[in-house]
């Protein structure tokens, strides 16, 4: 199983001076945390687009799914 967590133990116990969230719809969202010891932490979050499609036969009742597609 892939590890989906990024742990930053160097930040443990530090005190936050300021926290800023910068929204950027093209490159993702950036979070910057400035700490009282003069260091800063920056994290960028982005979401890659996905494509999903379904071939189905409709009618009365629940549609019959013929095939699901995902890119």
- Tens digits of residue pLDDT in 8-39: 899 999 999 999 999 876 778 899 999 999 99
| Tens of pLDDT, residues 39-71 | 999 998 887 788 889 998 988 889 899 989 987
Domain region containing 28: 9-70
Whether the CB-CB separation of 17 and 35 falls below 8 Å is answered with: yes
Q: Please count the structural domains in the chain.
A: 1
- Tell me, yes or no, whether 2 lies in a domain: no
Whether the CB-CB separation of 28 and 22 falls below 8 Å is answered with: no
Model's pTM, two decimal places?
0.60
Task: Work out the pLDDT band at 1, boundaries 50, 70, 90.
Answer: very low
- Tell me, yes or no, whether 4 lies in a domain: no
| Distance of alpha carbon 3 from alpha carbon 57, whole angstroms | 39
């Amino acid at each position: 199983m892939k590890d989906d967590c990024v742990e930053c133990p160097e930040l443990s116990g530090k005190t936050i001076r300021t926290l800023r969230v910068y929204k950027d719809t093209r490159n993702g969202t950036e979070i910057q945390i400035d700490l009282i010891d003069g260091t800063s932490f920056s994290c960028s979050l982005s979401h890659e687009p996905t494509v999903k499609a379904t071939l189905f036969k409709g009618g009365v009742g629940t549609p019959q799914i013929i095939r699901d597609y995902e890119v």
